[in-house]
Amino acid sequence: MRTPQKETHNQATDLQESNHVSRRKFLLLAATVAAGGLTSACSNLSNEDGRQSSIIKVRDGLSVARFPEKEELILLTDRPPQLETPLFYYRQDLTPNEAFFVRWHFSGIPTSVDLRTFKLTVGGHVQKPLTLSVDDLRKQFEPVSLVAVNQCSGNSRSFFSPQVPGGQWGHGAVGNARWTGVRLKDLLNKAGVKPQAMQVTFAGLDEPPLYSMHKFVKALEIEHAISDELLVAYEMNGEPLPMLNGFPLRLVVPGWYATYWVKSLSKIEVLPSKFDGFWMEKAYRIPRNENASETPENLAKDTIPINRMNVRSILVRPDFTDVVRAGKQIEIEGIAFDGGSGISKVEVSVDGGASWSVAQLDNSDNGKFSFKRWRMPWTPVSTGSYKVLTRATSGDGKVQGPQFWNKSGYMRNGIEQNEVPVV
């Protein structure tokens, strides 16, 4: 059965203390939308103490739900679970486990894992196939930690116009965590990758509900798989992974979209040829030309698998609970991140893009794959509605700019415009 979580370092305590305020704020969200009229229902998902997960449904489509091991999150679907993180959780360097977004493809997800019997297999085009328990990973391999952003490919999809199908995420399908585990390359080296290996595939414990559906399997080039940065993680922010975030093991692919971060990882296979599975050859494809804008009438014919994240920034504060007053200074806050070159600059406009000011980047250095928090003081001079925009520049010189539409609503990173009322 699942090992109870316990705090292993002071950072976990810091996260817990900061979440007292965060949870109260999200309960305020539920109370606020409740004032507009809502109905309630209960799901069939039970928490570990036997309580039922409650779902509050709101007329405008917003729902708030609490699942096992999770705080109140924004609900997109419950089968499979798709839960979005409220933006105020990004006012800290690491996103708490209980507030980290959830995304599964199938309803057939693991709901419990017995560590006494669970095994990770490493096989295929190798000299010595491996069968490893989580305890084997902890004892036989060097532990490695890194901080990295995990972002759903469809984060912010709801803002595309024309609207595209798929989960209608706001900006909260992203999180930043300290992942601890073993290097993928150490596992592959121990198994002994044979010459002419081309790709490595990854599969988890989740299963499609119908035999006619394709099991979720992802692939990476062998050169990428044996780099230093990829991990098979067994901890998240110093604790075992939450069940909904991939317990007991998860692939961590820093700088790449979450579709490659296979949850409940149970099978690694080295291939001497290219993998042609559905989730690589048909799904999660983007135009080869990253600056090409598709239209519903003119879809890109030349596509490639989605890969490294592009540069973007997200406004975190002020939000709908903040009262912004004319003549009183507040701090505009947000986060910025990219695929691993780091963030060199964030600019903010409070006049709809007519002028821009450079924001201050926080001093904390969690590495090139972490998001960077930023802030800028602002004193609005008069009442009214202000258009606040942000744009980030990455370490390799790429800048947020115009948003290119694509049929799947992937990789949104255009400059968002936020309406901020000032009283």
What is d(CA 171, CA 334) in angstroms, rounded to the nearest whole number? 12
Judge whether residue 16 has pLDDT over 50: no
Q: What is the mean pLDDT of residues 316-328?
A: 93
The pLDDT of residue 389:
97
Judge whether residue 177 has pLDDT over 50: yes
Burial class of residue 288 in the structure, from the number of CB atoms within 10 Å of its CB (0-12 exposed, 13-18 middle, 19+ buried): exposed
Q: Where are the domains of the chain?
A: 120-283, 312-422
Judge whether residue 127 has pLDDT over 50: yes
Judge whether residue 14 has pLDDT over 60: no
Judge whether residue 46 has pLDDT over 90: no
The pLDDT of residue 291:
77
Task: Decide the pairing of beta strands 102-103 and 357-358.
Answer: unpaired
What is d(CA 404, CA 14) in angstroms, rounded to the nearest whole number? 39
Sequence-ordered alpha helix ranges (H) in 60-203? 134-140, 184-191
Confidence of residue 160 (pLDDT cuts 50, 70, 90): very high
Q: What is the mean pLDDT of residues 135-141?
A: 98
The pLDDT of residue 60:
61
Q: Where are the beta strands (DSSP E) in 237-371?
A: 239-240, 250-252, 265-271, 285-287, 303-305, 312-317, 330-337, 343-349, 357-358, 360-361
Spell 295-316 as b/e; 16+ CB within 10 A means b: eeeeebeebebbbebbbbbbbb
Q: What is the mean pLDDT of residues 356-373?
A: 96
Judge whether residue 42 has pLDDT over 60: no
At the second CATH level, the architecture of 120-283 is Alpha-Beta Complex (3.90)
Candidate from 18-27, 65-74, 369-378 with smallest mean pLDDT: 18-27
The pLDDT of residue 55:
55
The pLDDT of residue 21:
40
Q: What is the pLDDT of residues 298-312, one digit of tens each?
A: 999 999 999 999 999
For the chain, give the percent of residues with pLDDT over 90. Answer: 80
Query: Which DSSP symbol is given to 55?
Result: E
Q: What is the mean pLDDT of residues 344-360?
A: 97
The structure tokens 């309580």 sit at 51
Q: What is the pLDDT of residues 191-244, one digit of tens each?
A: 999 999 999 999 999 999 998 999 999 999 999 999 999 999 999 999 999 999
Average pLDDT, the chain: 88
Q: Which CATH number is 312-422's, of 3.30.1330.30, 3.40.50.261, 3.40.50.150, 2.60.40.650?
A: 2.60.40.650
Q: What is the pLDDT of residues 76-118, one digit of tens each?
A: 999 999 999 999 999 999 999 999 999 999 999 999 999 999 9
What is d(CA 47, CA 343) in angstroms, rounded to the nearest whole number? 39
